[in-house]
Amino acid sequence: MTIEQYQTFLRNAYRLDLPGLTIPGLTDHFFRIYSKGNVDERKPIKGAKDTHDTAVDFLLVLFNYGRLLTEIANMEQALNIKAYEAFLKNPAQVVDYAAKLEENSGAIKAMQERLDRLLRKEGGEIEFADLGMDTKTIETVARLQKELRLITRQYESLRSQQVAVENNLSETMTERAEEFTALKHFFPEANIQAFEDIESFHHQLRQILHDEMKDEIARLQPLITFYSEEIKCLEARIQESGITRSISEKIMSQCVSARQRLEELQAEREQLFHDKELQEERAEKMTHLRELAEQHRSAITSVEETVTTLAETINSAVTAGKEKAPVLKIASKDLPFGTEENTSEGTAFKNLVIYDLCLANSCPIPVLIHDSNILIKIDNAYLEEILQQYQGTGKQVFIVLDKLESVSPGTQVILNETTLMHLSDGHELFGTSWSKIVQKPTEEAKETEDHGEDQ
């Protein structure tokens, strides 16, 4: 059987069906054994691993407020916060979405009016609406015109390259010679032969590059043809739209810009509605969280009053009404349970026992364990009544007592009737005391023992 299976068995056997109640939680708080960290006589509410919040939460679970704690935790997760108390003190800033939506509506109306004006005749321009065109069509035409300008530039660039290459191929040596002869008329002393020699060298280079230039022309021609066809295609599509290229591109550009801005404003409006819904939903959750917080405060007050009332009853029985009863203060940072006027050690340990008895009488705590370091600190005059209170809980209670010499006859009777195990020298729990040093027999003792066996 695994630990989880055994814990499930114990939960079923002890009928521990409160939400949030666990076997480890019970043992951590009510199996008060020396050195386990849960025997703080002035703060009995805290277990060995508790913080302030977890100690309070476990006490609330014992009084059947587990579902409330779960609902608060779920709401904190939904609101993405860690501590609801601080969150309620400093809530998030509320955005005035009504004002933002009103502003957005005004902007949409103004932009729509501007778009409508652009679609009508102004300054002698053609009225696009008369052509049966909407802004979508205008956007398409504007895009086509932009593509046409780009492709036209590419076409003209390629065509210029082609013309330059063809001119290089068509140049002849004779043409150059005539130019140099004309130059000599104005500069009779010029060395024309040097120019002709240089040009002859250039001619030889052109002859070498002649094939390469032809290849370049062959490469450029398909590209020029392609872009030429693209230009024709775009011009045809623009013509089909009902707008000639001469119609104001400025107006169309303004129409496109106005349309895009209008769509942005409409998208912004949708986002504002979405954010407004989220804020309203968060506000509803905040309202519910405040209700839960009020229930949480009421639960703490109720538990404080219940434990304090039970403590008065049990303390009165234990002390015969001679001592003031301890008071539980959950709201306090230190979680004290005690009497402010009497802070003695004996009273503190008596209060710890009374605290456990209060919860054993009112909560589903099946077992209490109090080690000897608790009961030995309490006045013997109160021990008999404490044992009777243990018996009155109807729960399993395990205690350890080290010294019985000074107990009352009534206490002795109860102990005799309920003792399960009595340990003493020679009757240790595991056969020997772990705290004692084992003496090794001396050589003389061994010889004596051996001599006795021989006889």
Residues 247-297: pLDDT tens digits? Answer: 456 666 777 777 788 889 999 999 999 999 988 888 888 888 888 988 999
**Matching residue, tokens 């003209």:** 156
Q: What pLDDT does 155 receive?
A: 67
> Which comes out higher in pLDDT, residue 344 or 442?
344
Alpha helices of 171-241 — where are they, by DSSP H? 173-186, 192-240
Among 23-27, 94-98, 228-232, 409-413, whose mean pLDDT is lowest? 228-232
Q: How far apart are CA 137 and CA 255, in angstroms?
A: 10
Under 8 Å between Cβ of 352 and 46? no
Q: Name the pLDDT band for 127 (thresholds 50, 70, 90).
A: very low
Highest mean pLDDT among 153-162, 330-339, 379-388: 379-388
Which of the four pLDDT bands, split at 50, 70 and 90, describes residue 433? low
pLDDT of 154 higher than 50: yes
Does the pLDDT value for residue 132 go beyond 50?
A: no
CB atoms within 10 A of CB 57: 20
Report pLDDT digits (tens) over 12-47. 888 888 999 999 999 999 999 988 889 999 999 999
Residue 130 confidence (pLDDT): 43
Whether the predicted pLDDT of 203 surpasses 90:
no
pLDDT, residue 240, reads 64
Tell me the C-alpha distance between 266 and 278, whole Å.
19
Query: Over the stretch 368-403, which tens digit does the pLDDT of each residue have?
Result: 999 989 998 998 889 999 999 999 999 999 999 887
Percent of residues, the chain, with pLDDT higher than 90: 32
Q: What is the DSSP letter of 380?
A: H
The yes-or-no verdict on residue 165 having pLDDT over 80 is: no
Instruction: Tell me the C-alpha distance between 307 and 301, whole Å.
Output: 10
On the question of pLDDT at 205 being above 80, the answer is no
Lowest-pLDDT range of 133-137, 194-198, 432-436: 133-137
What's the rounded Cα separation, in Å, for the pair 21 and 19?
6
Q: What is the pLDDT of residues 79-114, one digit of tens each?
A: 888 767 766 767 778 889 999 999 999 999 998 888
Lowest model confidence (mean pLDDT) among 134-148, 263-277, 427-441: 134-148
Q: Is 133 helix (H, G, I), strand (E, B) or coil?
A: coil
Which pLDDT belongs to residue 150?
Answer: 74
Distance CA 381, CA 359 (A): 23
Over 90: is that where the pLDDT of 193 sits?
Answer: no
Tell me: pLDDT of 129 over 50. Answer: no
Looking at residue 440, its pLDDT comes to 63
Q: What is the pTM of this model?
A: 0.62
- Residue 216, pLDDT score: 66
What pLDDT score does 391 carry? 93
Amino acid identity, residue 235? Answer: E
Helices (H), 403-442: 409-418
Q: Which residues, other chains included, contact 215 with Cβ-Cβ below 8 Å and sequence gap of 6+? A: none
Which has the minimum average pLDDT: 158-172, 320-334, 342-356? 158-172
pLDDT confidence of residue 87: 67
pLDDT per position as a tens digit, 57-74 = 999 999 999 999 999 999
Question: SS3 for 398?
Answer: strand
pLDDT at 233: 74
Residue 374: count of CB within 10 angstroms of its CB: 21
